[in-house]
Structure 1
């Protein structure tokens, strides 16, 4: 058989054509329904059954079980889903993948092939790309991706080698059947490797359907390859979770455990199961016997794929609590490592869509706000403490947190820059701009608190202390700063579309009024020469620092509220 480098490149290009079309279609539909999908997934997961339905619905809509799994992992990180809920959603996602197989079979392998109308679909979608409304642009992208997918499938069907005229290769494949059960296990491994290589279970399923349609492989081997594809699709998520946090690893392991257990029980009843499908197809349909008729294999494979995923979910849904306990033992929680900085929510390798990436960044910003609040609590204690050992300990804590905030700013900014390199909607671009501004303001707050703590620590070094009036005034001022920080933390934890600046601006006005009052009193004391110079300088620096913190905090709320206005 003559199948040279040029033919191989055509085959690889056709596969890339297919996968790219699926990627464009999936990403565009996620842009259209991103916020709605988040709302659905966070609300309709009250029990296992609703979780399965949510996973099925989400995957059926966005046509990507990998995207659904990554979304689930992000929601577990963000605290929107518990691990047990996430497992049921992942189960539903497995059923959702069958929709893609059905679309490919009915629209790509039937007499009515959608690829014949692909250019017409692109003709409808292309003008939408220039629409002013973002949603219309996304629908245009979806139509183009949908057309490219089936154009790629058609090219893939015509680019595969002609094995029918080269019976020696088919003879090799047929010889595998002599291995008995080992042949089925080998086919499972082939399916796993195939899915890992093409990085898409849908693409692997399309390739398997093409092999069936060309009569390369018998029904039992094709079914075993599909089982392997179920395992292969979990390996991608587990590789991605290697650098993720403990929640990401557990969700990915749960996906692997669920699919592995399904493959194990199916292998135990494999021949009985495919014989049952064969009997039912002969009795109830006009497709013929997949065990004896080559043209019926693709139909038998589709029925196998659908029925296996549904039955596996119906069985495994009763074992969700046990799967949860198993993956927690497989991936135990790490001990508290207070001296080690690490991101809690962002996992760069898990980032697949802008919606998911921004959700992770939002949660990391909320954590940033919590760190600022802790630094403020330490600062308040510094003002009121006269114990040298306690002051030294508080200073070390504040220094450690300030270092963490420096690292956090760099990591979040680097992550957002990577997100910005992708295809963004105008809303996402504005949100990234606002987030970059927020990280800068929060980090400046941390820097100012660090300087304030060093000023307060001079009390022990230079043997001075704030008098009762100064302590009272500073406590009143830092109390207002504390209220401003609390308001920022509240705003960072709520939906950005719900943020209003009113409360924050009211607190900011109180901070400005208080600093003006204390400055006036301070300069009055200078004229009367009723103050200690060293104490007075530290006191004035704290007043100025609190005012600057207030300015940066109101900037954070204004950045969020501007998103609401946009």
Structure 2
């Protein structure tokens, strides 16, 4: 009983250290990678081959195919990527996830604590965040292997257990059972990298005859099951998402299940091939590398098989999850279209979504200002209400974006540069929300005030100038164009002059009985609110000075620039 307890505790403890180390390495590699990660992800918009490459490289950095798949689901759900592009990412992610197994296959047992010490020392004495992140990445790498070593030591007593050996022999003799075991393990642990690490350690444990306790032919079915189990995370992530997002998750499952159905019939031949391409030597010494090579070969072969038939996979998953036969309507302007909580763990991607949502909010507010200017001129109460609701809806989304950014800050995954630029972005979003609120105030006052025709024309001209300034501020924020920023500043000067001129004009109309004296307060209040809109436009420009712009957050900014012209 004591031996069994020690084995279980050692296995679970080693697994915990492994997953903790892998997550630490992944989180800090993201901080170190920074712009390089953005460049890799920019490939997502290219052809399928580059999509496969991007998926593989991204997964190699994130150390998780599930994270990359969830990322692709988020992009599709946010309408930033088409289904064929996302499927190519999934194919690449399945290749990228094999990197972990390849790293594990290296025998660096004697150097584990050196990595732990160097990583700790760098993170402890580092003066800059980048060096600290590098140190924590090295520390995570060391802990990853320390967890593997702990699991390996805890498995050694299993080699002398008749009960365990009998269970393993059942798995070896019945491949389907091995697939089930691998699937269940990965579903429970939620990490194929972790379960494959356990499999590599188990296979490297010698039995009574000195050979591997499970052997390569016994390990391959479990490996196939591990690949199926990792798709469960994607399926769970797609719950509540768009139909295309669900199709991405199904395509991930289809990829691995189809591979399992093909390879399970050729396990002996596949094992022979893997032994041929792997280093020679005693089975116990080389089987970890053989499992890693089997993992890589399986995913590379399946990617090559499916890559020319992405169109077919699109048809299959579309047939499985058909389009809903309802009339397509515009998205709710009061609900964020791009934000996805599942992507908070990938700040580069999350900030891309925030930038897209910010542009969308800005365009909604600009359209509301345009409609409001026309409604002020025509004294159209109904149109004032519509434009006011539109501005209020944009304000609600701005608040959702602010809350999302707060959660992103709370993850601690942003590097120093991202923190500074994101704080500026949050400031600009607050000003966009404030402009929406001011538009609502203008509409509320105008609805209950019977201004004269001339007064209404003045308010329309002021609102159109404010709209022009706001559009310029959004263009400046998107592109960092200093000319746009200059025009916004000039517009603010004109706004001050126009406001003074309009106030004087109103008083002349009051004196000539054209306007009611009782409307003076309302007229001045509307002008004051419009002037405050101009002030918020200046704040937006100042939040993104010079070369600083939304371009920093975006992988491809052409569509953003088009939307704010």
Are the equivalent residues in 2 in contact too, given 1:74–1:360 (CA < 8 A)? no
Question: Shift in Å at residue 95 of structure 1?
Answer: 1.0
Q: Which residue of 2 aligns with 1:206?
A: 197
Q: Is 1:309 aligned to residue 299 of structure 2?
A: yes
Q: Is 1:19 aligned to residue 19 of structure 2?
A: yes
Q: Which residue of 1 aligns with 2:560?
A: none
Q: 2:257 aligns with which of 238, 254, 260?
A: 260
Of 186-195 and 139-148, the range deviating more from structure 2: 186-195
Change (3 A) 1:72 1:560: farther
Q: 1:233 aligns with which of 227, 230, 233?
A: 230
Matches within 5 A, 1:167-246: 167-176=162-171, 183-214=174-205, 215-246=212-243
Of 69-78 and 448-457, the range deviating more from structure 2: 69-78
Question: Shift in Å at residue 312 of structure 1?
Answer: 0.3
Q: Which residue of 2 aligns with 1:474?
A: 459
Q: Is 1:484 aligned to residue 469 of structure 2?
A: yes
Return the TM-score normalized by structure 2: 0.85
Q: Which residue of 1 aligns with 2:559?
A: none
Distance 1:535 1:340 in 2: 33
Q: 2:129 aligns with which of 122, 134, 143?
A: 134
RMSD, aligned CA: 3.1
Are the equivalent residues in 1 in contact too, given 2:73–2:238 (CA < 8 A)? no
Task: State the Cα deviation string for residues 324-377 of structure 1 (Å, max 9, x = none).
Answer: 344455264784266684321111133212222222222222222122123213
Q: Which residue of 1 aligns with 2:342?
A: 349
Question: Shift in Å at residue 563 of structure 1?
Answer: 9.2
Q: Is 1:277 aligned to residue 267 of structure 2?
A: no
Change (3 A) 1:490 1:78: farther
Distance 2:482 2:306 in 1: 39
Change (3 A) 1:61 1:177: closer
Change (3 A) 1:328 1:482: farther
Distance 2:276 2:433 in 1: 70
Q: Is 1:514 aligned to residue 503 of structure 2?
A: no
Question: Shift in Å at residue 105 of structure 1?
Answer: 0.5
Distance 1:497 1:427 in 2: 21
Q: Which residue of 1 aligns with 2:410?
A: 421
Task: State the Cα deviation string for residues 206-230 of structure 1 (Å, max 9, x = none).
Answer: 0111121123434333212212222
SS in 2 for 1:160: helix
Task: State the Cα deviation string for residues 234-272 of structure 1 (Å, max 9, x = none).
Answer: 2212212324455544433332333233323333xx2x2
Are the equivalent residues in 2 in contact too, given 1:76–1:248 (CA < 8 A)? yes
Q: 2:390 aligns with which of 401, 408, 418?
A: 401
Matches within 5 A, 1:108-119: 110=107, 113=108, 115-119=109-113
Unaligned runs of at least 5 residues, structure 1:
none
Are the equivalent residues in 1 in contact too, given 2:405–2:426 (CA < 8 A)? yes
Distance 1:67 1:478 in 2: 46
Question: Shift in Å at residue 84 of structure 1?
Answer: 1.8
Return the TM-score normalized by structure 1: 0.85
Change (3 A) 1:152 1:534: same
Report the number of matched residues.
Answer: 539
Q: Is 1:323 aligned to residue 309 of structure 2?
A: no
Are the equivalent residues in 2 in contact too, given 1:98–1:306 (CA < 8 A)? yes
Distance 1:527 1:435 in 2: 47
Are the equivalent residues in 1 in contact too, given 2:14–2:150 (CA < 8 A)? yes
Are the equivalent residues in 1 in contact too, given 2:202–2:214 (CA < 8 A)? yes
Question: Shift in Å at residue 278 of structure 1?
Answer: 3.6
Q: 2:155 aligns with which of 134, 152, 160?
A: 160
Task: State the Cα deviation string for residues 138-164 of structure 1 (Å, max 9, x = none).
Answer: 222221111111112111211236221
Q: Is 1:365 aligned to residue 358 of structure 2?
A: yes
Change (3 A) 1:248 1:491: farther
Change (3 A) 1:218 1:285: closer
